[in-house]
A and B are shown apart, each in its own frame.
Chain A
Amino acid sequence: MKHFDAKLHVKGKSIFTGDIPEPEGTLHAAVFTSPSAHGKIVSLDVSTAEKLSGVIKVITAEHIPGENEIGNIVMDEPLLAEDTVHFIGEPVAVVLAETRGQAYEAIKSISIEIDELDAVIDPREAAERGDLIVPPRTFSCGNIEKAIKDCSYVVNGTAETGGQEHLYLETQSALCLPGENTVHITSSTQSPSYVQKIAARVLGIPIHLVQVDVLRLGGAFGGKEDQATPWAVMAALGTHLTGRPVRLVLKRHEDLINTGKRHPYSSDFTIGLDDQGKILAWKVNYFQNSGAVSDLSTAILERTLFHSTSSYFVPNVFATGYCCRTNIAPNTAFRGFGGPQAMFVMEAAIHKASMETGIPVEVIQKANLLGKGDTFPYGMEYTCDEVRSSWALAEKLADFKETKHNIEEYNSNHRYFKKGLSVMPVCFGISFTTTFLNQANALVHVYTDGSVGISTGAVEMGQGVNSRIRQIAAEVFSIPVERTRVESTNTSRTANTSPTAASSGADMNGNAASNACKEIKGRLLEVAGKVLHCKADKLTLKNSAVWNHSGQTDLSWEQLVKAAYMNRTALSSSAHYATPGIHFDKTKEKGRPFAYHVSGTAVTEVTVDCLLGIYKIDKVSIVHHSGNQLNPLIDLGQVEGALLQGIGWVTMEELAWDKGSKRLLADALATYKVPDISFAPSEVKIIFSEGEQLENGVGLKGSKAIGEPPFMYGIGSWFAIHEAMKAYNSHASPGYVAPMTPERVLMALSTEKTK
């Protein structure tokens, strides 16, 4: 099985939003944004810009016919700033001009006067001021205070994880065309229905007058879940106000500055263990740097709380999270959605506990791995044993003992070059933690020539969801995949869809598509029964034909479809899917929020040049429980891609803001570095293990979601580098701060005294 879209990609024939030919009269939009991190707008003067050649209109908040509000969970985000600006890069005005060059030229002559207000970028400072987006939330179980008293060891510490730029290669983009009294938006979004709903709200028109279409995205990773919306809505607003097509494509520099990223977290922990290394108590405070508006921050913090104990069982837990409002671009969804941040803190705590107790890290990790029947702090039971089994398999795959021995030997033979090893178990809950989002629908048409068109709410962004859906449809009808096609994601064909996110796009939309196909198949078999003069339930579809108990009949798939049409049988069907068995009570913070968990374990080996402070990731061995794989090639790509993104997050990817102006310093690809081909681990071994079976009705045909969980394997690199540093200088202490940049390595190695 292939990633079918790739056939077009390799020829450069795939069409992205920015590739759609411009209709005649298209205007180009450029966005004027706040130069200040926080302040009152004293005056905004667009009059010079309006008079420039080619400029058709300059839109400001006062032109908005509907509501100037694009918030999704919390209503706190204007499309265009009105009287206050809250971060550098906040949209203030939109210039529409005949050419892109004219639009960008015009922005330069917009002037704004701002009365500066205090701006913060430190989430703890925001929390101290009480600047929280919503009240803090706590997940707890057992009796934390008592447990801490009973522990042999109690270790306190702090951990910091930095933000992460998505760096989808395709920047945010939209093209909007006018209809009769409608607008037709093509948007590079993971959430066509959000764009639709919010465009309607801003334009002050009913939702059915807005159509949103998405062909594919050039990468997203969560960065186009909520954050594609403003740009699409601005284009729609432009069309609505001028009656002309409007194209808006962000330049990379703007995309980096104006859009939010993975949330940086600053956390305090207390971990309590018995003398065998069994974790008895886990108390943690997460200070999430939410940015200036809520975006998806509250949902992301919720997932942090769900994953506060990572892959471990802890009987007494008290985990509290704060969404801290700061003056940077609103942070947002990014692969893992708050999970990685939680897991880093737990691993940091275990590492610190190991340093203080002398019990090896792996011993503590292993002693506490989740087992069948353990209960998470949020009340859900862990029903399989995949964390432990993946750990055991990964130890074997990586020759753990032997490798450890070899590393010790290597380290004793090298003065400056040191190797390090780490194990990273992952257990990640699958489903939107916001229960109502766990629904999807699909519309399937069988055409009279036997070809099949499928529409779902899933957005293709490289993760291969379209290939999986085609496979499912082809399987139900028993026809070649080539006879199926997944249409663009369009709000007129599938309505009220959830974002393609939370790793659940294929699970949910695939199931919806499968239900719709089965419905049509049932009708087709009825027709076949009539044609072949037998009972429908005696017939099946196989190899593009109708089969009965004695084998293939003369009725081919194509003939059957034609017969059904002539018989006036409905060859289209829509279907809905809702993930069964999930619920969550926010008043108690207990329930069963996930359909299932995905687990696996990674072993990472690195080499650090302790003289220069640089490192290489030598090898990563992963055992991943994938269920019954539908498309092994796509699964492999998801694990490999997520792994390197995870490694990037904890190593070289560093966001920094100027302390004074609060300007983002890493505002170009020259300053924000992501892994390149030479940084990819020299060796990656991945074993997919089927693991334990899912309950009926969840997953897609026994396969498990795969988008996000493997990201967290990357966290192991941080700890492996730390191990190597310790081998050079046992006092080396970089603090539990990610990313572990070459600077952090060298500073930690050279400030302390060498052993």
Chain B
Amino acid sequence: MISFICNNREVFPDCSGGLPVLDWLRAQSGLKGTKEGCREGDCGACTVVLGKPGINGIEYSSVCSCLLPIGEVAGCHLVTIEGLTTGIELTPFQQSFYDEAASQCGFCTPGMIMSLTGCLLGSATLSVSSAMESLDGNICRCTGYIAVKRAVNSVISTLPAEWENRLEMLIEEGHIPAYFTSIEKRLKELPPQSVRAEDSLVAGGTDIYVHSSDKLSTEHPRFLSKEKSIKQIVTDGKTVTIGAAVTFKQLRESAVISDLFPNLEKFLLKVSSTQIRSRATVGGNIVNASPIADIAITFLALKATLCFSERSIPLSEFYLGYKKLDMLPDEILTEISFPTPEPGTILSSLKVAKREYLDIASVNSSMLIRVEENVVIAVRISAGGVAPFPLLLTGTSEYLMGRTLSEKTISEACSIAESEVSPISDVRGSKKYKINLLRAQVRAHLTRGLSNEAL
């Protein structure tokens, strides 16, 4: 039996742990403000806010309830649109959406309001840009987002700059109801959780729920998140070690990572959406083995090693073919580690898709490079979308080593990169396009990547 607090109420759902929260809300709880637009994490209509007890109180973030198994909510605070207006007529965001007509048909609106609420409750810093960012997983087909931007601006501009006690401040400003202060204590008073764990392994669920939601609905999955040890990012100065269950959100907010690679944060914004990043894990991305897996591409360039309980292997040897891995069926990836690069090393990451944000790359690539006086001292390039699995461009990297970066070197590097890949034509682009795009990215890495220029 599991239990959690849904809005202001302790609940004890009687269902299998694999049931998506969206279905529990709509079919079993009568909470129909949360909408279903796609069931694949791509529209945000189903957005809810999930609060997990952490070291600094409850850590809130917005998530897609269509990909969230209810077993993961055990012991947590689940907030839906209905939970915002207990004793409040309209929250400031609701009021501003109303005032600006940022809601037309209204189907996307609860999701947007929840994304913004998740931002208020959970984002590290609060600004107009972080509030806009929090909507990167919410599709609206009616408003063109322009009224939404006005509505967001008008609220954020009234918020105090100081955030000493965020929860109290938000209550005072009417963004959340007063009951939020009682949640931490009430979560501790919930009976001990007993989550059955016997079926499929689920990390963030953002891959497996997209294709196997129906099957998982009646299962009792094993949740990787229950293992605390693999949720941390640590460094001893020589090696950085990342737990397999570390989320994209954690990766993006990690000081260890941003100290080494200040540019990576911007790239990570292009990886899925806020809601997905709250859940999707580094390990899941690597094991899922999509040919365009953004995180796997990045870690290939970083010369990462994968650790399983009994062994470890270089990431570059992990992929054997399309979705074919050097991994036993029951093996669990526990950690990913990479050597701390020499000072002066730059990580440049690129991704081009039809849409800049929340889209799957046509081609993506990463380059870890150190250049001194225009001479390449160290380099490692990886690319996705150009082979059956995330690919290390060894030939291109070898060629560049020790060379002076001239137009000729760059052109030659592009051609070598082309010779190393074998993309296929599919919905993300023709073979020819992917080759051209890879060439362009190699050039961009070697020019802009070193100077930080972007559109």
Is B108 an interface residue, CB under 8 A from the partner? yes
Contacting pair B436 A219 (CB below 8 A): no
Pick from A19, A636, A652: contact of B147, CB under 8 Å: A636
Query: Is A570 among interface residues, defined by CB-CB distance under 8 A?
Result: no
Report the stretch among B237-245, B259-267, B355-363, B378-386 that lies at the interface: B355-363
| Contacting pair A11 B42 (CB below 8 A) | no
> Cβ of A684 < 8 Å from any Cβ of B?
yes
A671 partner, pick from B85, B142, B427, beta carbons under 8 A: B427
A5 within 8 A of B: yes
Q: Which of A464, A665, A673 contacts B355 (CB 8 A)?
A: A673
Contact partners of A10 in chain B: CB under 8 A: 90, 93-95, 97-98, 103, 106, 109-110, 113
* Nearest A residue (CB) for B97: A10
Counted as pairs of residues, one from A and one from B, with CB atoms less than 8 Å apart, the total is 242
- Residues 1-22 of A, flagged 1 when their CB comes within 8 A of B and 0 if not, give 0110111111111111011010
Q: Is the CB of A21 within 8 A of B101?
A: no
Contact B141 A9 (CB under 8 A): no
User: Quick one: CB contact mask for B11-38 with A, threshold 8 Å, 1 for yes?
Assistant: 0000000000000000000101111111
A7 to B146, CA, bound (A): 18
- Specify which chain B residues have a CB less than 8 angstroms from the CB of A42 in the assembled complex: none
| Cβ A252 vs Cβ B40 within 8 A | yes
Please tell me the size bucket of the interface on B. 35 or more
Chain B residue with Cβ nearest A616:
B455
Partner of B101, one of A14, A101, A167, A636: A636
CA–CA, A19 and B110, complex, Å = 14
A633 within 8 A of B: yes
> Which residues on B sit within 8 Å (CB–CB) of A13?
33
Does B323 belong to the interface (CB within 8 Å)?
no
Chain A residues with Cβ under 8 A from B138's Cβ? Answer: 676-677
Cβ-neighbour of B106 out of A9, A18, A167, A673 (below 8 A): A9
Taken residue by residue from 115 to 139, chain B's Cβ proximity to chain A (1 for < 8 Å, 0 otherwise) reads as 0000000000000000010011011
Q: Are B105 and A743 in contact (CB under 8 A)?
A: no
Task: Check: A611 CB closer than 8 A to any chain B CB.
Answer: yes
Q: Is B444 interfacial (CB-CB < 8 Å)?
A: yes
Cα distance, A753 to B173, chains bound together (Å): 59
Smallest CB separation, B207 vs chain A (Å): 11
Known contacts: A101-B217, A218-B106, A677-B135. The answer to whether A637 contacts B101 by CB under 8 A is yes
A741 touches B436 (CB 8 A): no
Are B142 and A641 interface neighbours, CB within 8 A? yes
A106 to chain B, nearest CB (A): 13
A257: min CB distance to chain B, Å: 14
- Contact yes or no, B136 A677, CB < 8 A: yes
Q: Which residue of B90, B102, B141 has the most chain A CB atoms within 10 A of its CB atom? A: B141
As a 0/1 sequence over residues 341 to 378 of chain B, the CB contacts with chain A under 8 angstroms (1 = contact) are 00000000010111111111010000000000000000
B45 at the interface (CB under 8 A from A): yes
Asked whether any CB of chain A lies closer than 8 Å to the CB of B214, the reply is yes
* A residues less than 8 Å from B98 (CB atoms): 2-3, 6-7, 10
Determine how close the nearest CB of chain A comes to the CB of B80; give it in whole angstroms.
Answer: 8
B144 adjacent to A640 (CB under 8 Å):
yes
B107 interface hit (Cβ, 8 Å):
yes
Chain B residues, CB < 8 A from A674: 139, 141
B97 touches A654 (CB 8 A): no
Q: Bound complex: CA of A641 vs CA of B100, how far in Å? A: 13
Contact check, A640 vs B143: say whether CB atoms are below 8 A apart.
yes
Closest A-chain residue to B83, C-beta based?
A12
A566 at the interface (CB under 8 A from B): no
Q: Which 5 A-B pairs have the closest CB atoms?
A: A12-B33, A9-B106, A462-B105, A218-B107, A644-B144
Q: Which residues of A approach B to under 8 Å, CB–CB?
A: 2-3, 5-16, 18-19, 21, 101, 104, 166-171, 216-221, 251-252, 417, 461-464, 607, 609, 611-616, 633-634, 636-637, 640-645, 652, 654, 656, 665-666, 668-671, 673-681, 684, 741-743, 746-747, 750
Interface residues of B (CB under 8 A from A): 30, 32-40, 42-43, 45, 80-82, 84-85, 90, 93-95, 97-110, 113, 132, 135-136, 138-149, 210, 214, 217, 350, 352-360, 362, 426-430, 432-433, 436-437, 440-441, 443-444, 448, 454-455
